[in-house]
Structure 1
Amino acid sequence: MRPSLTTVFLALLDEIAPHILRLWKTCQTDRNMVHILRQKHIDTEHYGIGLTKLREIREGMGLRRTRQQGHTIESIRDAMIDLRQMYLKAGIREVISLLFHERDMSVARSVVSSYFAVYEPELVRERKSRCLKRRRFWAAGVNDLFAVDQHDKWLRFGLGLHTGIEPFSGRIMWICVWHSNRNPQLILSYYLNTIEELGYMLLITQSDLGTENFRIANAQTLLRQCYDPDLRGMLQHRWMRSKKNVMPEITWSQLRRCFTPAFETLLDHGVNEGWYDVRNTLQNMVFCWVFIPWLQQELDVYIQHQWHHLTFYQILPHGVPSLIYDSPKDFNALDFKVTIDRDGVDHVRELYINSAHPVFDIVPPTLGDFIQHCYDEMGCPEVTRTNVWIVYRNLLSILQLADNVPPTLLPNEAEEDSVLPLLEGCSDLPFCEEPNGPYYMGGVGGGLGLGMGYNSVQFGYPLMSVKILPITVSWTL
């Protein structure tokens, strides 16, 4: 028996609904959605979809456009008050995106601008007085390189941040918070976990000069040489000695402007009240156990927001990072990803990472089990922005009164890793630099750019010249 038209339609709807939701999150117009669905997700020989039907499906999914929602400065007031607790310095563009992604509210720019003029005139004046710095960066295409860097501003709380950026698209691959950000095994694990999940790797990695990055440099070089023997004798990692590691610096600048202020205020509150002293071992253990997983969840939300947020840099191609990264052909751009297998990643992981190293434990395992038991006895309260210090203080009180608390050796007090030397016999990649101008530090053409042995036939679509990213961001001077 042939299925009814209703059954066929429902089956098609189940198939395309996730794609509609993904495109909705990237703020695509209905016309663009129809074009992308027809091109990539619907068999147009058997099915069709037009603007009218898409709008019907979209509204049935509860996805309403700005005019349909009809928000005013009063209707967004409660949401703005709540968002401002965590995003104190976000401007108009960021607020519009936050309302859209976190509150499912599509709000006109004029409404947010009017809200600022009525309720936050001093912040408007402050934002307008900011000085901007211009930085330029070249990338040949998606997966040309990853730039990695650590951030030390939260070390006073016993927390370290680390990030990895894909510069061409501007996509943040990870921002991780842990009790360390300089252990070379930990840093390498971030990278290997990422490429293992993707199923492919990039041409080169890039970082500031430091022994904590030696393992990621060695692992990247070994993997690249494994899949391309012609690369033997050349390190597949860039050391930004006299150059700036631009993209991570911009990421940290954005994070400190949009994300950090409210969270630092929250963390400082506990320190100022005398609830937490990073030098107190037991307090530090409980703090890490409670705060690190919660902060990582908050950072993951921030990353998702940045993935789907139209970048405000003056870059080419101009678009949403997730769309540029996932579909570079749509932006007339190249993709240099190198397909890898699980065996290669596992080999490098076994060679350079000791999974039993204490740095991978948020707290010592026996103490972690004891804290988990105490947390279960408390009823496993959900950790949120409003009760995170309450959960911490209650857990700490229970442990302070207990007689059988396990040893509390700090993970970062464990024996330090010996410095692993770089692979022998590997020279640095050359780089291409214009006199008094931008420079290319990617991995294409042996480090010299697209003119060295790459052509459109190899990739199947028009070749694009090396892309210049003149990136403008607000930096504190």
Structure 2
Amino acid sequence: MYKRVYRRIFEKDNLARGLCEAYCSNPKIIAGYYTNAIKNMNACPLRIRSDRGTENSYIEQMQMFLRRNHTDEFAFKKSFLKGVSTANQRIEAWWSVLRKQNSQFWINFFGIMRDSGDFSGDFLDKNLIQFCFMNIIQRELNQVVKVWNAHRIRGTKNMNSPNGRPNIMFSLPQLCDTHEYAVDVDAREVSVCEDECIFKGNLPCDKTVYEISCILMAEHNIDAPHACFTAKEVYIFLKNEIRRNF
């Protein structure tokens, strides 16, 4: 999910299309999120629906690999469905909720930085944006997910529409008059899939930029920013210091 979320935040104003390229468009990294989810659940989805983006290519092959020996009606190739995202009304509705609750602020915020000349789009600027803002954005996204999964989906006249709290609906589907849509997988086969993945490291940006930024912040007694405007001040400070001294 976060792959799509980050792209939604940055794509509208072209501030940092390249910023999230490593996170958003590398199919091996996206596949890493998929295998992590499978390991956490000890199961894989009965079926996956995806758009036709190339970043989903590894997930497609892994899903069909893990489901190749199952005997249900959605086994093997039928376990992965492609379609345009705009045809999926539920996910499009969720993007609208996300934009209102979180991403629209960041779209506007970074757009102002671009228009004011604080962002040039070069290697240093991109990595300093990641260094200063990525943890803040991640923390906010985690909170959005937490609130969404705990909120109550109201019932409707449509019998096929789910209702209840997402956390409970996911963990205890029998309480919602439905059944489990996860299927068991062989841990050895999951390990084979992991060998084809790239897992996101702990650093938010390029290692050299990260180390230099940490040194400068320590020398000037600057704490890690926890709010957007403080992060902007740190970003501008680091950019000026690095350009002046390196």
TM-score relative to the length of structure 1: 0.44
One-letter amino acid matched to 2:10: W
Equivalent position to 2:88, from 241, 245, 254: 245
Over residues 323-364 of structure 1, what are the superposed CA-to-partner deviations in whole Å (9 max), with x where a residue is unaligned? 2111111122111222335433221021x32459xx996433
Equivalent position to 1:309, from 145, 151, 173: 151
Which SS does the other structure have where 1:390 is aligned? Answer: helix
RMSD, aligned CA: 3.2
Q: Structure 1 residues 152 and 262, CA, compared in 2 at 3 Å: closer, same or farther?
A: closer
Tell me how far apart the structure 1 counterparts of residues 48 and 24 of structure 2 sit (CA, whole Å).
Answer: 17
**1:401 corresponds to which residue?**
244
Identical positions, percent: 20
Equivalent position to 1:349, from 194, 206, 210: 194
Q: Structure 1 residues 309 and 243, CA, compared in 2 at 3 Å: closer, same or farther?
A: closer
Tell me how far apart the structure 1 counterparts of residues 87 and 4 of structure 2 sit (CA, whole Å).
Answer: 11
Greater RCO structure (CA 8 Å; 6+ sep): 2
Which SS does the other structure have where 2:225 is aligned? Answer: coil
Would you say 1:370 and 2:212 are equivalent positions? yes
Equivalent position to 2:130, from 288, 293, 310: 288
Superposed displacement of residue 215, structure 1: 0.8
Which SS does the other structure have where 2:33 is aligned? Answer: helix
**Do 2:67 and 2:76's aligned partners in 1 also have CA atoms closer than 8 Å?**
no
**Do 1:205 and 1:236's aligned partners in 2 also have CA atoms closer than 8 Å?**
yes
**1:319 corresponds to which residue?**
164
Tell me how far apart the structure 2 counterparts of residues 291 and 390 of structure 1 sit (CA, whole Å).
Answer: 11
Q: Structure 1 residues 244 and 217, CA, compared in 2 at 3 Å: closer, same or farther?
A: same
Q: Structure 1 residues 232 and 204, CA, compared in 2 at 3 Å: closer, same or farther?
A: closer
Question: Which consecutive unaligned segments of at least 5 residues does structure 1 have?
Answer: 1-145, 162-176, 404-477
Would you say 1:390 and 2:246 are equivalent positions? no
Which SS does the other structure have where 1:225 is aligned? Answer: coil
**2:46 corresponds to which residue?**
203
Over residues 183-209 of structure 1, what are the superposed CA-to-partner deviations in whole Å (9 max), with x where a residue is unaligned? 211221222222222222211211112
One-letter amino acid matched to 1:369: E
Higher helix share: 2
Tell me how far apart the structure 2 counterparts of residues 345 and 375 of structure 1 sit (CA, whole Å).
Answer: 41
**Do 1:149 and 1:208's aligned partners in 2 also have CA atoms closer than 8 Å?**
no
Tell me how far apart the structure 1 counterparts of residues 245 and 106 of structure 2 sit (CA, whole Å).
Answer: 31
**1:234 corresponds to which residue?**
77
Superposed displacement of residue 237, structure 1: 0.6
**Do 1:207 and 1:245's aligned partners in 2 also have CA atoms closer than 8 Å?**
no
Would you say 1:274 and 2:114 are equivalent positions? no
Q: Which has the larger radius of gyration?
A: 1
Equivalent position to 2:10, from 133, 154, 160: 154
